[in-house]
């Protein structure tokens, strides 16, 4: 994990516009929002999916995985910058630092998010990610659909609309499948397509893994938001409860939310059974996501 995280950090450093290039404030702010923070869960999933194979272990070219990993991380970073804006979740703390609009200003933060989204697609299009350009076009389509109004941005809209509403567990699931799940699924899908060794049925099982892991991630987030501290998480805790936002903990209680995360971890790992070595790194990431303390 540390090796992949360091590699992705170095790649992001390289792919982001250099700090001295005009418009300088925007580029400084883009670097601030992306570099030096975060667990890099999505890049880790992309790299691990690139190692998933049937029979003989075949791993995707790390230089290609790096691009896919940076693209999904740019989208993730953009979503955090926009979500923290005053008109959205109005949060001032992110990854242990002042949120982008606090460190810079709102207009710059808006443009940071907009530019990071463009950069993600630029990365997917200006490097070779597959021997078959048609697969690369498919990768753009996967990421675009995951970002859009029927993916991540749509999930955020549902989230905003649900403030103060007591949601049922299926409604919560529907929201999170969009808000965080879509990009996590895209991370796995893009990583897997960098190696291009899996049949459609196997890609579908990987996608089921990603769907379970994405939901588990959110359930664990809700549990940690209840149990942990602002210092440990590097973001404001207890905010969802304070904002009267529905969470898995408010819907299920702490014990049942923990049990649900555990079930999702098992379901995710079961989906990997046909792959070589149970796709070891993906299985380990499911452990990491569910058992993490921050």
CB of 212 within 8 A of CB of 168?
no
Least Å from the CB of residue 135 to a copy of itself: 9
CB of 73 within 8 A of CB of 45?
no
Residue with tokens 């929201």: 175
Least Å from the CB of residue 174 to a copy of itself: 9
Which residues is 176 bridged to in the sheet?
none
Q: Is 82 in the site for a copy of itself (CB under 8 A)?
A: yes
How many residues does the structure list for the chain?
Answer: 294
Nearer to a copy of itself, 161 or 254 (CB): 161
Distance CA 5, CA 1 (A): 6
The residues in 248-267 that bind a copy of itself, with binding defined as CB under 8 A, are none
Nearer to a copy of itself, 54 or 157 (CB): 157
Q: Is 136 in the site for a copy of itself (CB under 8 A)?
A: yes
Q: Is 113 in the site for a copy of itself (CB under 8 A)?
A: yes
* Sequence-ordered alpha helix ranges (H) in the chain: 2-15, 24-34, 41-50, 62-83, 100-103, 106-126, 133-147, 152-161, 169-176, 182-195, 200-227, 230-233, 239-242, 248-252, 254-270, 280-291
Stretches 7-15, 18-26, 233-241, 268-276: which one binds a copy of itself (CB under 8 A)?
Answer: 18-26
Among 2, 22, 199, 231, binds a copy of itself (CB under 8 A): 22
Q: What is the binding site for a copy of itself (CB under 8 A)?
A: 17, 21-23, 25-27, 30, 78, 82, 85, 87-88, 105-108, 110-111, 113-115, 117-119, 121-122, 124-126, 132-134, 136-138, 140-141, 143-145, 147-151, 153-154, 156-158, 160-161
């Amino acid at each position: 994990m540390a090796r992949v995280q360091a590699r992705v950090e170095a790649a992001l450093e390289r792919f982001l516009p250099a700090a001295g290039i005009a418009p300088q404030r925007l580029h400084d702010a883009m670097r601030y929002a992306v570099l030096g923070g975060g667990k890099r869960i999505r890049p880790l999933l992309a790299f691990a999916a690139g190692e998933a194979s049937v029979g003989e272990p075949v791993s995707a070219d790390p230089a290609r995985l790096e691009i896919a990993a940076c693209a999904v991380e740019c989208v993730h970073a953009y979503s955090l910058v926009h979500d923290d804006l005053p008109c959205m979740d109005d949060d001032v703390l992110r990854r242990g630092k002042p949120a982008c609009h606090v460190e810079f200003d709102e207009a710059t933060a808006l443009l940071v998010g907009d530019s990071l989204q463009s950069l993600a697609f630029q990365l997917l299009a200006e490097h070779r990610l597959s021997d078959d350009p048609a697969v690369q076009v498919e990768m753009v389509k996967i990421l675009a659909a995951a970002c859009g109004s029927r993916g991540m941005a749509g999930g955020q809209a549902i989230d905003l609309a649900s403030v103060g509403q007591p949601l049922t567990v299926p409604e919560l699931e529907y929201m999170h499948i969009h808000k965080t799940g879509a990009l996590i699924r895209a991370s796995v899908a893009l990583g897997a397509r960098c190696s291009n060794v899996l049949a459609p049925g196997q890609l579908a099982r990987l996608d089921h893994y990603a769907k379970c892991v994405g939901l588990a991630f959110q359930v664990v987030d809700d549990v940690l938001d209840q149990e942990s501290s602002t210092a440990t998480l590097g973001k404001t805790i207890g905010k969802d409860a304070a904002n009267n936002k529905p969470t898995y903990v408010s819907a299920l209680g702490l014990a049942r939310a923990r049990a649900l995360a555990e079930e999702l971890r098992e379901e995710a790992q079961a989906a990997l059974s046909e792959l070589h070595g149970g796709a070891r790194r993906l299985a380990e990431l499911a452990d990491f996501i569910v058992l993490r303390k921050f």
